[in-house]
Amino acid sequence: MLKATWNDLLARFPEPHVLVAALPDSSEKEIIFNAQSAQRLLVRLIKKLPTHGEFAVMISRQSGQREILCAFADSSDAALVAKAAGASMSDRARYSFMLDEAAECNLLKIAGPPEPHRARATAFDRWQY
């Protein structure tokens, strides 16, 4: 598995296999409000699973709804991640699911919690050593 940028992956694979994770409206009382945390959760999930090809992940708001788009070079990688996420197939190269509180809990069981943030060194910290 190799994480690529969205544009690089699309340049090499113009018709990638796509998984769409729709996020709930921010007015709903759900745990997962932050699109960036949802994006990081999906990246952790992809890295935890035995994927082999290139993938890219991005946040999209083009459809009027917040979505996390995951593109895969390999159809078997897309199918594997879609199965883990409980996604349904909407056409031959596109899967989708709602990333709500229940889905987040299920994905966290596979992907694991986020790594703790490391404290950033300040100029003063570096000066002391």
Q: What is the pLDDT of residues 8-55, one digit of tens each?
A: 999 999 999 999 999 987 655 444 458 899 999 999 999 999 999 999
As beta bridge partners, residue 22 has: 67, 98
In the structure, what pLDDT confidence band is assigned to residue 103 with cuts at 50, 70 and 90? very high
Instruction: Classify 121 in phi/psi space as left (phi over 0), alpha (psi -120 to 50) or beta.
Output: beta
Q: pLDDT value at position 116?
A: 78
- Whether residue 124 contacts residue 49, with contact meaning beta carbons closer than 8 Å, is answered with no
At residue 124 the predicted structure's pLDDT band, cuts being 50, 70 and 90, is low
One-letter identity of residue 124: F
pLDDT digits over 75-99, tens only?
999 999 999 999 999 887 899 999 9
Report, as an integer, the average pLDDT of 53-74.
93
Between the two ends of the chain, the Cα-to-Cα distance in Å is: 38
Q: Give 128's pLDDT tier (boundaries 50, 70, 90).
A: low
Query: What's the sign of the alpha-carbon dihedral 71, 74, 80, 82?
Result: positive
pLDDT at 7 over 90: yes
Residues contacting 90, CB < 8 A, separation 6+? 96
Instruction: Report the share of the chain in percent with pLDDT over 90.
Output: 67
**Token output for 55:** 């993938």
Put simply, whether the predicted model's pTM sits higher than 0.75 gets the answer yes
Per-residue model confidence (pLDDT) at position 71: 97
